[in-house]
Amino acid sequence: MQKKYLIHKYLSISAIVSFIVLIYLFRFNENGFWKRPIAEQLVVYIDLSDFYISSIHESDHIYMVIAKAHPPDTICSVYGMLVSQQMMCQSIIILFTAFNAFMLVERLKKIELGSKDSLWLPFCFLC
C-alpha cells in the first residue's frame, strides 16, 4: 500500500470505531442516556465529535476520488471550516473533561450539570 493512502485507512478505522462505540453505548443502555454519570456522557460527546471530524474528512477525500481532482477553493474552505469547528468543539469537551477530573480528584466535588446537560452539547457543537 502506498504511503499517501495509509491515512485513508486510519481515518476509516477511526470513523468505524467511533460508530461502534456509539452503537454500543446506546444499544446496551439500561437507564436513559441523560441519567448516566457525566464521565460516560463526556465519552459519548467526544466520540460524536471524532465521528463527525472523520466523516467530514472522508467526504473530502470521496469528493477527490469521484472528481479525480482537488475540490475548488470554495468547497475546500467549507470542509476546512467544518473540520476546524469540530476540532474546537472537541477541545472544549476535553477541557471540560479535564476540569471535571480535577474537581473530582483534587477537590472531591462532583460537577453536576443537572437538567441543563442537554443544552451543553449543542453549545459545544455550535461554538
Q: So what's the pLDDT on residue 61? A: 77
Averaged pLDDT for residues 88-93: 84
Domains contained in the chain, number: 1
Averaged pLDDT for residues 20-25: 77
Q: So what's the pLDDT on residue 1? A: 47
Of 104, 110, 63, 54, the C-alpha closest to 82 is: 54
Tell if the pTM clears 0.85, that is, is over it. no
What is the domain extent for residue 85?
3-126
Other beta carbons less than 10 A from residue 76's beta carbon:
13
Triad 61, 62, 63: Cα angle to 5° = 90
Cα dist. 59→54, 56, 78, 88, 105 in Å?
9, 5, 12, 19, 40
